[in-house]
Amino acid sequence: MKTHGILIGGKWQKSDSGENSQSINPATEKSIGKFETGTPNDVERAVDAAEKALEGWSNLPAPKRGDILLRAAILMEKDKERLARLVTMEMGKVIAEGRGDVQEAIDVTEYMAGEGRRLFGSTTPSELREKFCMTTRIPIGVCGLITPWNFPMAIPAWKIAPALICGNTMILKPASDTPLCAIELVKMFEKAGVPPGVINLVTGPGGTVGETLVKHRKVRGISFTGSRDVGLSTMRCAGIKKVGLELGGKNPIIIMDDADLDLALDGVIWGAFGTTGQRCTAASRVIIHRKVKNRFEKMLVGKARKLRLGDGLKPETDVGPVINRRALEKIHYYTGVGKEEGARLLTGGSPLPGKGFFYKPTIFTNVDNDMRIAQEEIFGPTLSITPVNSLDEAIEYANSVTYGLSSAIYTRSMRNAFLAIQRIEAGLTYVNSSTIGSEVHLPFGGVKETGHGREAGILGIEEFSEVKTVYFDYSDRLQKAQIDEVRQ
């Protein structure tokens, strides 16, 4: 079985630890490779390599950096099917979603390539005569990118591409459950012409590799996607540096009594059980008007019971496995919590016997808003249904959680839609669509304990650059803003 190295200064090599771990296919429980267990010293060497490469990369004109990103996108497109199958084997999502994962990586890389000919600053008038004012963008410097397993190519690309186009160098620490996807993605950028040392990759535990990156004084920016608890630790440990956090969600779909229930049904099935519920934007709550609750529940349970679980590489599979046994046990624990709290289980609620980490799509109804299954992120195929009497009550319940990432409302009323957009506390709101489906040219991120900062779109550029203000005084005399002797 192949052991995959870490990347430091353009060379794939062994870790200092002499140890390795395995990545497991969650559908078959078979190993797909061994991966080096990185150490703090490996991180130190990677930071040194990134620092050494920074001047050359940041001085390369941004349009030329964009040319390299565009080549990387083209290489991914040509190799899309192989990469998609790798995503499915290592992470578990069905092959159609594996292709979507890779397509996101292609899209964001292509989009950020175009930013190489923009990277806009701004100009504004001075309050003084013969003085010119402007802003320009400069790199942060060496960045640490820490990524999760649920989008093992898309999310690393969401961080790598804007970091590169802004002139930064970086160390990528991918999730230990999906390191091979990250390795293959980085090889695309290498092949496209990213110079040695610009991208470095160190696999290994978050408690050593990740924490060392976060604390390192030469790492000037951290971008982290993962759990709220680790995000809190990241903020405590990072010190004074730029930190972007995306920490999950407990996302509601509001269904009003005037909604198209067939359309809402498709949105709930996709939002709750797509990617086996393992998206930070997954729809884990349905907040529904009492007038249509019973009818919708029958429709939902009927469709959920027809979903076919299995290996994501098989074309007939609708729902793949969860990522590992710990996740399976956590999801089942919350099924027990829901029962103990008095929610009524409509379907699912148990793992599938045999090989693989499969959990049946699970739906609870009569879920009180203060129950744990309505408040805590489960990150699996578990959905709670809470009845309400009005839009006001629905929005109150939607906002009652500590997260604020994504949200949706199904209604035919323009008034309902705009009130939801205005009042729901979330970074994203969908009208008559599910909670998942972000596009790379629009900002992505949330509020409250979901974190801060935005990825993708023009705000992705802001995440990975600093703004410098520049003044040109061509008056040939000393002018003192605010206290100049003559103000005309």
Nearest to 321 by CA among 29, 22, 23, 21: 29
450 within domain boundaries: no
Are 172 and 146 contained in the same domain?
Answer: yes
**In whole angstroms, what separates CA 392 from the centre of its chain?**
30
Are 258 and 135 contained in the same domain?
Answer: no
169-173 and 199-201 as β-strands: parallel, antiparallel, unpaired? parallel
In sequence order, what are the beta bridge partners of 467? 137
Are 397 and 345 contained in the same domain?
Answer: yes
Q: Which carries the bigger pLDDT value, residue 216 or residue 482?
A: 216
Active site residue 246: yes
305 within domain boundaries: yes
- Give the global pTM: 0.96
478 within domain boundaries: no
State the residue for tokens 């005569």. 129
Sign of the torsion angle spanned by Cα atoms 471, 474, 477, 480: negative
pLDDT (0 to 100) of residue 484: 58
Question: How many Cβ atoms from other residues are within 10 Å of residue 320's Cβ?
Answer: 28
User: How does residue 486 score in pLDDT terms, banded at 50, 70 and 90?
Assistant: low
Q: What percent of the chain clears pLDDT 90, i.e. is strictly above it?
A: 98
Q: What is the pLDDT of residues 81-125, one digit of tens each?
A: 999 999 999 999 999 999 999 999 999 999 999 999 999 999 999
Q: What is the pLDDT of residues 435-462, one digit of tens each?
A: 999 999 999 999 999 999 999 999 999 9
Q: Considering 97, 104, 246, 449, which one is annotated as catalytic?
A: 246
Are 228 and 288 contained in the same domain?
Answer: no
479 within domain boundaries: no
Nearest to 46 by CA among 93, 6, 80: 6
CB 155 within 8 A of CB 102: no
Residue 485 has pLDDT above 70, yes or no: no
CA distance 144 to 166: 14
Burial of 324 (C-beta count, 10 Å sphere; 0-12/13-18/19+): middle
CB 310 within 8 A of CB 26: no
Domain extent, residue 346, equals 251-431
Which residues have CB under 8 Å from 252's CB, separation 6+?
283, 285, 286, 287, 394, 397, 398, 407, 408, 424, 435
Are 258 and 242 contained in the same domain?
Answer: no
Are 335 and 384 contained in the same domain?
Answer: yes
Residue 488 has pLDDT above 80, yes or no: no
Are 192 and 282 contained in the same domain?
Answer: no
Residue 487 has pLDDT above 60, yes or no: no
Q: Considering 143, 166, 181, 280, which one is annotated as catalytic?
A: 280
486 within domain boundaries: no
Q: What would the mean pLDDT of 406-431 be, rounded to a whole number?
A: 98
CA distance 239 to 182: 27
Are 122 and 157 contained in the same domain?
Answer: yes
Q: What is the pLDDT of residues 300-315, one digit of tens each?
A: 999 999 999 999 999 9
176 within domain boundaries: yes
How far CA 15 is from CA of 36, 196, 371, in Å, comes to: 6, 18, 45
Which 3 state secondary structure label does DSSP give 56? helix
Active site residue 237: no
Are 243 and 293 contained in the same domain?
Answer: no
User: How does residue 482 score in pLDDT terms, banded at 50, 70 and 90?
Assistant: confident
Q: What is the CATH number of the domain that holds 268?
A: 3.40.309.10
Are 427 and 385 contained in the same domain?
Answer: yes
Please provide the average confidence, as pLDDT, over all residues in the chain. 97
Residue 352 has pLDDT above 70, yes or no: yes
Q: What is the pLDDT of residues 360-397, one digit of tens each?
A: 999 999 999 999 999 999 999 999 999 999 999 999 99
88: left (phi over 0), alpha (psi -120 to 50) or beta: alpha
Round to the nearest angstrom and report the end-to-end CA distance of the chain: 77
The domain tally of the chain equals 2
Are 262 and 243 contained in the same domain?
Answer: no
Q: What is the CATH number of the domain that holds 135?
A: 3.40.605.10
395 within domain boundaries: yes
Tokens coding 327: 């996740």
Sign of the torsion angle spanned by Cα atoms 311, 328, 437, 172: negative
296 within domain boundaries: yes
Are 297 and 168 contained in the same domain?
Answer: no
pLDDT (0 to 100) of residue 1: 80
Which strand ranges, in their side-by-side order, compose the sheet holding 142-146?
Answer: 11-13, 6-8, 199-201, 169-173, 142-146, 219-225, 242-246, 451-452
Q: What would the mean pLDDT of 59-88 be, rounded to a whole number?
A: 98
In sequence order, what are the beta bridge partners of 138? 466
Residue 34 has pLDDT above 80, yes or no: yes
Q: What would the mean pLDDT of 162-180 be, rounded to a whole number?
A: 98
User: How does residue 483 score in pLDDT terms, banded at 50, 70 and 90?
Assistant: confident
